[in-house]
Structure 1
Amino acid sequence: MRTRTLLTLICTAAACALPLAGPASAVDTPVLTKGSVGGAPVAVGDVLTAPLASGTTATLYSSATGTSGISCTSSQFTATVTDNPAAPGTAGESLGAHTFDSASCTSNVLGVLGVNSITVDNLPYGTTVNSDGTVTVTPASGSTIRTTVKLRTLLGAITCVYQAPSLTGTASNDDNSINFTAQQFTKTSGSSLCFANGYFTAKYAPVTDGGELVFVN
């Protein structure tokens, strides 16, 4: 009887001690933080915005290495965070708006007098941001990434439509930027003044969440 009583006391004491011995659980750093690397988590539902990086242009050129096409000095995107797991991992966003100010756009294509509008169609697009900085933009299932460009020409107004299956960019914590380089679009409709392929290049910075800089972890 005495042996059972001592065992019971020992077991009871050990059971009571286990919760006290366990370490406090640490909060994992998510892929997207604001304020600093490893800073406050970006919450699901937060809206991220970014204009063109100061002193840069967004271009849609007729070749990957050429300089013939359209150039804009004012553009911006807006995306809503849909998933922000622990790093390393992949955060999700919904790109709901991607705009170009046509008043800031010019064209050096022979026969084109000006740019009436540039419209990004089929929004929203799904966007992922990986811990390694890879940014991927994809359309909804069964859709495409599509941009409609309306130009003033010597022959009157024309409309050029370009499509791409996806876009790939790179996020950098150095200047809180997302950079797209020579992302290829293919013309699906338009006159001969519309070049057959459009290569999109742009750098958006800084990416912010309610005015705070956004970092990738």
Structure 2
Amino acid sequence: MRALPRWTVPAALAALALAAAAPASAAPAPASALPADAAGPVLTAGGAAVAAGDTLAAPLAAGTSATFYSTATSTTGVTCATSQYSAGVLTNPAAPGVATESLTGLTFDSCTANVTGVTSVESLTVDTLPYGVSVDDSTGLPVTLTGGSAGPIQATAVLDTWFGTITCTYQLSGAFTGTADNGGNSLTFSNEHFAKSGGSGLCPADGYFSAGYGPLTDTSRSGAPAVTVN
């Protein structure tokens, strides 16, 4: 075998020394230094972003009722076995943030009353729709409803009584707030206070509304996947 020229060995050692001294930037960047992926949206359904224009809907949570009681601690008033929440998505920004919706439907059926003198409930309706809805992905996942161009949030009960049919109208007193829960893909409202704004003198002065809706689903998507707040 032919011998290498005498200068080859020092030159090779010098090349190795230069390689060892190469700056750290030449090595792959650690994962923590790589660009982060873009944040996901506030609302997802089936793992995909909920699109503006989609319709979200939810019945009452299984085994629950919607109630409209005369005080925050009583069980006297109107109870409805069926209720349906429906809203259209307006905006769904990247999290953290606030998604907005337009509440287009909040219906009540199979309602009864345990108020002395009331024999049946003809109807319980929510008036002046649509309402604004905001869903915040901050701690507690707060949900807030606000009145729209048609007026403040208002509910009307038509009741059959010993003295004939009466109409009782109530408007929201203060903010209408609730919470979302990803465990059941639900929305919950508890003791939201309405004050009497019109109707018969036989109507109670106040109404406290409570209901839980879920699962909330995106009915514009195939299979109506459940909605999650991120």
Matched residue SS, 1:45: coil
Distance 2:62 2:99 in 1: 26
1:25 is displaced (CA, Å) by 7.6
Counterpart position of 2:29: none
Q: 2:209 aligns with which of 184, 187, 200?
A: 200
Please tell me the residue identity of whatever aligns with 1:202: A
Separation (CA, whole Å) in 2 of partners of 1:141 and 1:117: 24
- Code of the residue aligned with 2:187 in structure 1: it is I
CA RMSD of aligned residues (A): 1.7
1:188 partnered with 2:197: yes
Partners of 2:149 and 2:86 in 1: CA distance? 21
The yes-or-no answer on 1:31 pairing with 2:42 is yes
Task: Show the counterpart of 2:183.
Answer: 174
Highest CA radius of gyration, 1 or 2?
A: 2
Determine if the alignment matches structure 1 residue 209 to structure 2 residue 218. yes
Pairing 1:117–2:94 present: no
Equivalent residues, number:
192
Equivalent pair of 2:129/2:150 in contact (CA under 8 Å) = no
- Gaps (5+ residues) in structure 1? 1-22
2:80 aligned with 1:72, yes or no? yes
2:22 corresponds to: none
The answer on whether the counterparts of 1:145 and 1:166 sit within 8 Å (CA) in structure 2 is: no
Question: What is the CA–CA distance in structure 2 between the aligned matches of 1:141 and 1:213, rounded to whole Å?
Answer: 30
Equivalent in 110, 127, 136 of residue 133 of structure 2: 127
> Helix, strand or coil: the match of 1:85?
coil
Corresponding residue of 1:161 = 169
- Give the superposition deviation at 1:54: 0.7
- Amino acid of the structure 2 residue aligned with 1:116: E
Note the alpha carbon deviations across 1:122-181, whole angstroms, 9 max, x for none: 000000000031000001257210011100000000000000153100000010010000
**1:90 CA drift (Å):** 0.3
Shift of 1:191: 1.9
Gap regions ≥5 residues in structure 2: 1-33
CA-to-partner distance for each residue in 1:8-30, whole Å, 9 max, x for gaps? xxxxxxxxxxxxxxx78834200
State the match for 2:23 in structure 1. Answer: none
> Deviating runs (4+, > 6 A) in structure 1?
none
